[in-house]
Structure 1
Amino acid sequence: MRKPVLTIFYQFNPWQTSIGGIQTVIRSFVKYSPSEFEVRLVGTGDDSAQPIGVWQEAELAGKAIQFMPLFSIKDDNTRKLLPTSVKYTAALLQRCLASDFMHFHRLEPTLATRNWPGEKTLFVHNDIQKQIDAKGTKDAILWRRFPFAYLALERLVVGQFSQILSCNTDSLKYYQQRYPQIAERVSYIRNTVDTEIFYPLKGDEREQGRHSLAQQMGLAENTHFILFAGRLHAQKDPALLLDAIATLNQPDVHLLIAGDGDLREEIRLKISALGLSHQVTMLGPVDQAKLAKLLRICSVFVLTSAYEGLPVVVLEALACGTPIVTTRCGETPNLLSANSGVVCQERTPKAVADALLQVLQQPSHYPSEACIQAVEPYSARSVVGAIYKDMWSRWQQQNSLSSGQKSYTTVTEVAS
């Protein structure tokens, strides 16, 4: 029996530093894929001589895959005049890349796949209603300007999915209530963290690492680090975080911003305007290995988003034994215990500053053990493994039924 083929569709180049939890989830689906499956990835290329629109053998996360770039793009961390999702969808319209199983992480490309045969799964990574809420920040995503268009697209394509898997319980309810005819196909999925990459330091290693980083950066030895990691985008609201750091007004605290995006220059200017140049360092995009090192030695990870699903980076921070300060958005508040983080009841600089100060002044109340315990059910190996197990079961059942049908047909033909 041939191997079943899983094709993953997403607009990124997995060998470049591309910011986002979706990219991390996809890498986990490649890394922890069982040998019984053939995995293909349809993404984007760079400006090298890499052939466009052609399947090519490649290696990702230690696994052999088939990779097809639909077009080249220099930097997918910043918004383009023509949205990348539109360009990606247009490229798919010109071809059929159907396979036994297909995973989609954005809705737009599935406009091209409605007539493709095979089992299709849509992964939902955000709170959909808040994401398209026209009352929110206008520069967050294009759909916020045209929510009616998003809903029309959704109605057009949603029926093709065999499964809709959401890491956000509000989005889960949204799809079940809005589309009762497919409610049984919608279910909750845990986002994942690769604990082979993200794990805590032992004993005094965290303190030693913190001292070493402070020394490298020319900062005082008693400096404590706060880390933000993600796209510099209105959804993440890094401006609120900077206002909170100014309100905190603790000279021995230093904010590290790992990421890039449309708001890069705006954030640089705000840092200067607030007089925070000696307390904030913009690191730009960082790879997984460097992010893991930072998470292991920082005192707290902070999230000031306006809306979320369940950010993968929150799971990564907890797996490194680092407590969380977050605004009340997405699934993070439901994940945290009283000993693994603080949820801000208001989205204000003072509320965020007070929460940060609470963690910084009482570190013993937020031990690494509590953080690690909170994230244990989200191990990529187990979550991804369970999904592949279900796919394999359905594949075997389908082939069994198909073989039975063929046998019945043969017997009928012989009898006649």
Structure 2
Amino acid sequence: MMRKPVLTIFYQFNPWNSTIGGIQTLIRLFIKYAPNDFEVRLVGTGDKGDKNIGEWQEAVFAGRPIKFLPLFALENDNVRNLIPTTVKYTAALLGRNFASDFMHFHRLEPTLATWHWQGEKTLFIHNDIHAQMKAEGDKKAILWRRFPKIYFALESLLVRQFNQILSCNTKSAQFYQQHYPNLSDRIAYIKNSFDDEVFYPLHRDERASMKHELARKFAKKEQTKFILFAGRLHPQKDPVLLVQALSVMKKQLNSQSNEQDVHLLIVGEGELAPQLRDQIDNLGLTNSVTMLGALNQAELADLHRVCDVFALSSAYEGLPLVALEALACGTPVVTTQTGETPLLLTHDSGVVCNERTPECIASALHQVLSKSNNFSQEACTRVARPYAARTVVNEVFADMLLIWSKKVRVLQEIPTN
């Protein structure tokens, strides 16, 4: 009987912690929906005081047995440290060999250590790297933006080791195909995905009841409109811009003698938290914004189902999973003109801002909130449906199983003497 093929996933996080980020969510989905035909391993990070650092552990995640190896202890991966976590993770991989039949990488830098490892290697690209390098703002937000020539030189060296490069952003996939024509047949677009067992809409009556409970929880009027933001509090996501947009919108409502109450819920942690709190205070929005910190998927899904609109104010994106999760819950999306989200939204599932300014975002939010009947649950869920994890993840594993079957056939055909 042939053994199961082994998939090893490499990323700097602990899947049992409340870690914020689309990469982490996608990895969790790949573990949860991995078919039993595969043995799944994860090389991640451990918690402070973990006695099993550097050792393989038998574990269970989302009901699925996996093997887990924490390379080093990481106290809080939601906050950036002086030494980037990716650098620590790469250094911890050097001199080791965790090669397996299939290997998934979600950052390029750690593959410095994997050049000579044997096996099928896949690199997942989560952002439009070209747009990311050109984005305005704090160059410390992404360290490589200070040294783009060095990054692309390193990339051109490392990408050759991959059997497959999958990007969740069509522009990014096209960029890689044009930039590396000799590798173009290895580069493809992949849909990001959401967990439809967690993110789904409510019946209208149930939603109205939960919306009433939400308003009561935050001591707001029953008619209050709730805006939701969820993501890392990082310059890429730019939640400060969203708070500024809320300030503009509230001033506009007041000038129109509109008594509509609007409240912003911010889910997430990160380095911008102190700046965000200062901005909220300075703009007089203390009673209009609630920062909730990091929440687990179930808690976030409950908010998606009852909030009136989900807002993305990002400077650059791939295809943010959180936007798919909002749509899957029947909630319309307002987004900046970045990443894949603008290509997905229909006229009745969200609004794309032509400019990344507080005024433009405020106008888009007001459009959705004031004309909610134009943005139906059915329209939102229709957009999200093709991105359900079971469909997307199963397609990837089916391709992997086909590759494995071909290898097995070749080995069986080789004479034993």
Q: How would you bin the TM-score normalised by the shorter chain?
A: over 0.9
Structure 1: unaligned runs, 5 residues or longer:
411-416
CA distance in 1, matches of 2:346, 2:319: 15
Q: Give the conservation status (yes or no) of the 8 Å contact 1:88–1:109.
A: yes
Per the alignment, residue 73 of structure 1 pairs with 74
Matches of 1:135 and 1:281 in 2, distance apart? Answer: 28
Counterpart residue number, 1:371: 380
Q: Residue 11 of structure 2 aligns with which residue?
A: 10
Partner in structure 1 of residue 61 of structure 2: 60
Partner of 2:364: 355
Shift of 1:139: 2.8
Deviates more, 1:130-139 or 1:77-86: 130-139
Measure, in 2, the Cα distance between the counterparts of 1:180 and 1:50: 47
Identity %: 59
Which aligned pairs between 1:196-235 and structure 2 lie closer than 5 A?
196-235=197-236
Query: Whole-Å Cα distance in 1 between the matches of residues 25 and 387 of structure 2?
Result: 13
Q: Deviations over 1:8-66 (max 9, x none)?
A: 00000111110000111001100111111000000000013341110000111110000
2:295 maps to a residue whose letter is V
**Offset at 1:203?**
2.1
Q: How does 1:4-403 map to 2 (within 5 A)?
A: 4-133=5-134, 135-249=136-250, 250=253, 252-403=261-412
Q: Distance in 2 between matches of 1:224 and 1:357?
A: 10
Q: Partner amino acid for 1:123?
A: F
Name the CA shift for 1:136/1:268 in 2 (closer, same or farther; >3 Å).
closer
- Give the SS at the match of 2:295: coil
Between the aligned partners of 1:318 and 1:264, the Cα distance in structure 2 is: 26
Inter-partner Cα distance in structure 2 for 1:100 and 1:34: 15
Deviation at residue 78 of structure 1 after TM alignment: 0.8
The answer for unaligned runs of 5 or more in structure 2 is: 254-259
Stretch deviating more after TM superposition (131-140 or 193-202): 131-140
Q: How far apart, CA to CA, are the structure 2 residues paired with 1:364 and 1:72? A: 49
Bigger drift between 183-192 and 145-154 goes to: 145-154
- Which amino acid in 1 is paired with 2:47? D
Contact kept, 8 Å, 1:41 with 1:65, in 2: the verdict is yes
The residue identity in structure 2 corresponding to 1:289 is A
Q: Distance in 1 between matches of 2:296 and 2:135?
A: 34
CA contact (8 A) 1:210 1:224 kept: no
Quick check: 1:134–1:147 contact (8 Å CA) kept in 2? no
Equivalent residues of 1:308, 1:330 under 8 A apart: yes
Partners of 1:157 and 1:98 lie apart in 2 by: 16
Cα deviation for residue 170 of structure 1 reads 1.1
The whole-number CA distance in structure 2 between the counterparts of 1:347 and 1:133 is: 15
2:140 is aligned with what amino acid? D
Q: Which moved more, 1:241-250 or 1:276-285?
A: 241-250
* Separation in 1, partners of 2:228, 2:89: 32
Could you tell which deviates more after superposition, 297-306 or 244-253?
244-253
Residue 414 of structure 1 is matched in structure 2 by none
Are 2:135 and 2:316, in contact at CA under 8 Å, matched by a contact in 1? no
Task: Please identify, of 197-206 and 298-307, the stretch whose mean Cα deviation from structure 2 is larger.
Answer: 197-206
Q: How far apart are 1:396 and its partner, in Å?
A: 0.6
Q: 3-state SS of the aligned residue for 1:132?
A: helix
Partner amino acid for 1:105? H
TM superposition shift of 1:137? 3.1
DSSP 3-state at the match of 1:204: helix
How far apart are the structure 1 equivalents of 2:104 and 2:51?
A: 24
TM-score scaled by structure 2?
0.96
Moved more, 200-209 or 354-363: 200-209
- Residues in 2 aligned to 1:50 and 1:142: alpha-carbon distance in whole angstroms: 32
Q: Counterpart amino acid of 1:358?
A: Q
Decide whether the 8 Å contact of 1:305 with 1:329 is kept in 2: yes
Q: CA deviation at 1:136?
A: 4.4
| Contact 1:226 1:254 (C-alpha < 8 Å) held by counterparts | yes
Q: Per the alignment, in what secondary structure is the counterpart of residue 204 of structure 2? A: coil
CA RMSD in angstroms, aligned pairs only = 1.0
Deviations 1:192-228 (A, max 9, x none): 0100000000121112111101111111111111000
What TM-score results when the alignment is normalised by the length of structure 1? 0.97
Distance 1:63 1:48 in 2: 25
Change (3 A) 1:134 1:210: closer
CA separation in 2, counterparts of 1:167 and 1:134? 19
Contact 1:134 1:145 in 2 (8 A): no
